[in-house]
Amino acid sequence: MSRRRELLHQFRKLGEAREIVSSIKSLAFMESRRLDNFLDIQRQVVTAMEAAAADFLQFHGQTLQSAEVSGEPLRQIFLLVGSERGFCGNFNESLVSAVDQAINEKEDVGKNIAVIACGRKLCSRMEVHPHLIADLDGAAVLDEVTGTLNRLVDTLGDLQRGEHTLTLTVLYHDPEQEAVVVRDLLPPFQQLPAGDAASNGPPNLNLSPTQFLIALVDQYLFATLQEILYVSLMAENLQRMQHLEGAVRYLDQNLDTLKRRGNQLRQEEITEEIEVILLSATSVKPPGVD
């Protein structure tokens, strides 16, 4: 009896764990559905800004070139967008491996390198990294993206006001590419498609080209970082769903095994009880028999 009680206790514990894991998986699914609309809209915003930049640079390309020429020393910043929570497999480990590879390539050309980590789970794996200069809280849900974005912008702004000119590379997960994406954001507009200068003509500006470019770069950096945070959070939730789906299947298999074993033990107990009853019956003398 004690063995069956032990199995029943273990069965209840695994059942509770299965409910918790299933709930986390459901929350990840709902969060990914919420992110869908926001991500589509943000991508449209970034695409529109890139189109405007392409038109502008068709006629004022020298403005961007002159802005990139500076006597200040360059500092390469790697921004890693990881996870705030767990249960997402090797999500953060793959980012650490990717940035180490990127750093090795940059160190070969003598760049001054620094790393910013975003996301508590990622930061815990980057604590002793030699290039880490800032660790920031990430977004666990969609509603926390704005706060994370503001912290990132403030950190980059503080670095920009230093004595170095920044080059910024962001590493993050993209579910469409199913890999870590390495994306250069500063200097800006390095890989824009060519605009149709002949049909559009020069843009009408209310600012000087230099002022317009500065304002456009600020807005573009803000919008692109927001898009990246949405993409990374989407990838995190999709990977969490996949990771927890395997956990649910594993728990279901264990629950089935425990249930079968519990049934076997119950059958054995019933058999033993029947045998005891039969032995007791044979040991009792019929009435009238001495």
> Would you kindly state where each structural domain of the chain is located, as residue ranges?
62-190+207-236
Cβ–Cβ < 8 Å for 145, 235: no
- How do beta strands 74-81 and 132-136 pair? unpaired
Residue 113, H or E segment:
strand 112-118
Cα 116 to Cα 250: distance, rounded to the nearest angstrom: 36
Q: Where is average pLDDT lowest: 66-75, 122-131, 187-196, 214-223? A: 66-75
Cα 257 to Cα 241: distance, rounded to the nearest angstrom: 24
- Residue 267, pLDDT > 60, answer yes
Cα 195 to Cα 59: distance, rounded to the nearest angstrom: 10
Q: Of the candidates 179, 196, 188, 256, which has an alpha carbon nearest to the alpha carbon of residue 217?
A: 188
Region 67-78: mean pLDDT is 68
- Residue 225, pLDDT > 70, answer yes
Q: For position 69, what pLDDT does the model report? A: 47
Burial degree of 246 (CB within 10 A; 0-12, 13-18, 19+): exposed
Which residues, listed in sequence order, are joined to residue 174 by a DSSP beta bridge?
Answer: 179
Burial degree of 45 (CB within 10 A; 0-12, 13-18, 19+): middle
Cβ–Cβ < 8 Å for 202, 55: no
Cβ contacts of 134-141, under 8 Å, gap ≥ 24: 137/84, 138/81, 138/82, 138/83, 138/84, 139/84, 139/229, 139/233, 140/84, 140/85, 141/31, 141/233
Q: Where is average pLDDT lowest: 141-145, 153-157, 167-171, 268-272? A: 268-272
- Residue 258, pLDDT > 50, answer yes
Cβ–Cβ < 8 Å for 48, 55: no
- Residue 200, pLDDT > 70, answer no
Cα 172 to Cα 22: distance, rounded to the nearest angstrom: 26
- Return left, alpha or beta for 158; rule: phi > 0 is left, psi -120 to 50 is alpha, else beta: alpha
CA 195 to chain centre: 34
- 283 vs 98, which has greater pLDDT? 98
The fraction of the chain above a pLDDT of 90, given in percent, is 42
- Residue 161, pLDDT > 90, answer no
pTM of the model: 0.82
Give CATH superfamily name and number for 62-190+207-236. Answer: ATP synthase, F1 complex, gamma subunit (3.40.1380.10)
Q: Of the candidates 125, 202, 218, 236, which has an alpha carbon nearest to the alpha carbon of residue 168?
A: 218
